[in-house]
Each structure stands twice: as C-alpha cells, then as structure tokens.
Amino acid sequence: MRIDSNGWVMDVERIATPNFDARETGKIDLLVIHNISLPPGEFGGDGVQRLFTNTLNRDEHPYYRTIPEGRVSSHFYIRRDGQLIQFVSCLQRAWHAGASTWQGRTRCNDFAIGIELEGSDFVPFTDAQYAVLHELTQALRAAFPIRGIAGHSHIAPGRKTDPGPCFDWLRYLAQAVT
C-alpha cells in the first residue's frame, strides 16, 4: 500500500465528501482510531458512507434522527471484510475528532488522520480489519512523521468510547511498531 503525493492511498476506493477543509498546520503526526456502524451494531450497509457524504436519510431509521446535525467525515473507513475506503486526502483536514486534546494540543483534526473501523464497542473486530489497519498504518508512517496513535476515547475522554473495549490494542500496536 502506498500514498501518493496528493495524500491518497493508491488503488483503493474513493468516495467524495464535502466534509473537509484545509489543515491549519502542515504537520501530520497522529493517527486516531475510531469505530462506527449505522445503525449501531448493524454492519454491511451504506449508512456510514451516507453520513460522511451528507446523504443520510434521517427518516430511514429511528436512530438516524438522534444523530446531531452537523457534518462529519474521516480519512479512512475499514469495513468488516477489510475493504478500505478513503473519503479525504491525508493532506486535508477531515472532521472526525471533534473537541479533542492530545499531548497538550487541542483540535486534533488539525494534525491527525482519522481511521474508522466498521464496528462497535461490543463486537470484536475482524482479522481482515486488523490486516488492513496494519498495512495502512505502515503506509501512513512511511509518508508522514507519525509520533502517536490514539483512540477517539484517548483524545476525547468522557465524551467518546471508541474504538472500545473490543479493540485489541496489544495486537494492533505490536504490528504497528514493526
């Protein structure tokens, strides 16, 4: 897996989203791991893609009406089967972290790359997801001066819980540092 000079992973599916803007800083040094499924706990649908592209029909499912209005995105989304989708160039700021702090710096979206895993706090992630996450992490570390890897819960404690207790940090970090 390689990242081109425009911040796109080569040979993966891209889905255009309007939910990004220019980074205020050029330094990208944090990866933030998230989980998401829409509706919660249901996998395989297109709810996440529609949320990230502002095309989610809020009348389609009762849960969708509880999602706060606003625009959200992530750089990457890894489905349960390992399919990787990129929504935002790594050189742009995706809107995944919200109010957040890491090592004394606020506004993590300014310097982070967001990776969403299709999942929930209550279901283990798949081998295919870990394999793609490992490969993506290696590519991102080769392209950018990544100094840290955190969960959404680490940068927004008390507000967010993802990637959740079912995410195997030991497994991931053992691969991520090799």
Judge whether 42 counts as a catalytic residue.
no
How many other C-beta atoms lie within 10 A of the C-beta of residue 83? Answer: 14
Among residues 13, 24, 60, 116, which one is catalytic? 116
Q: How far, in Å, CA of 51 to CA of 67, rounded? A: 10
Q: Which string of DSSP letters, residue by residue, matches the chain?
A: --B-TTS-BTTSEE---S-EEE-SSS---EEEEEEE-SSTT--SSSHHHHHHTT---TTSSGGGGGSPSS----SEEE-TT--EEE-S-TTEEES-S-S-EETTEE-GGGTEEEEEEE-BTTBPPPHHHHHHHHHHHHHHHHHS---EEEEHHHHSTTT--TT-TTS-HHHHHHHHT-
Active-site residues, by number, are 116
